Structure 1
């Protein structure tokens, strides 16, 4: 599998189960990280989100956690070969991760297939299914590594997003920003970008984004969000 070239870095993905995807690019471009000084990427995979966030805010101190050894190999290679080799990758489950840092922001493109058939590829199964990291475990990890003003930013399909939000509410988190994503104008909303915080909010910022026009070209909104990353955009 060939790597994926972005404007400022390249992503090797020969070993990791989950490849570069539109979900990851959306999340890395949409997350609000301008005021943060520390970031934790949970389930970094190839290191894509960590690298995107570092490009956007180069003063960020970034730690990335990944349980899969093969993915860690790719992530460390990609970070070493990038302009920002100071990103630290930890090979462990987030449930076992400990840090003295209380992160300003946490970002994750989490596993979400609760009920679909498991892939025969065990690494891909682990990356895609919540069996290895449940929503409640992800939320508990965020609370454990965060402070009172930290944010958690994720992307999920709509059904799973509703379930995740219910868990988050029960655990004292509040949804502050939402972006509903559809791939084309004729398709329904299929993904939801969400930002949570422990701080209660009086109003929620809701937006919408369509990735491609009917002729399969990128929409102006998607270009505006992601043009700093795509090599040809």
Structure 2
């Protein structure tokens, strides 16, 4: 049990596997009408799932299947990142490009490490400003996914799952409030993530993160919202 605990902490802290490349770029060499930047942590980089199963990659494919010419997402994300670590990595990337669409999903590690809501609010607000800048100053091309509930995973066995859920809800309330101030779209995938409880098919092989099947549901939820954003 101690070995398992150490292993899973390492997953949350910062893995060094190929799944955790800081940035992936569009492998398609042709130009697209729309470009897409996806910012986040393990849930965006897709810890323990193939690249094709990442939620943002699935979303881009769904959009193309519906005739929306969007490139595969560029990604800045790594397992274990908090809001401040994501912001630091963005600055270090020196990425000066602008994108048609920008997503942000961050905060689970703030909750896991016991950081305050006040700190999260300040740093999340700064990330929203960064995301908007990447969208060419157009907040209407930015969207947020809520923090999923890792308390439904096998890793959380023996922990206070109600407390985890309540804390995640509190962090999400902050994110939703800050997004609303800037009229940024907010998509609640937390409720969807909780359907993974007791369903191994929705959990990744590491017993902590979600599977491509769960990520597909997030992409399906985001699809109509993103189509509306890109139509503006």
For the criterion TM > 0.5, the same-fold answer is no
TM-score, normalised with respect to structure 1? 0.42
Higher normalized contact order (CA 8 Å, seq sep 6+, divided by chain length): 2
Q: Larger helix proportion, structure 1 or 2? A: 2
Q: Larger strand proportion, structure 1 or 2? A: 1
TM-score, normalised with respect to structure 2? 0.42
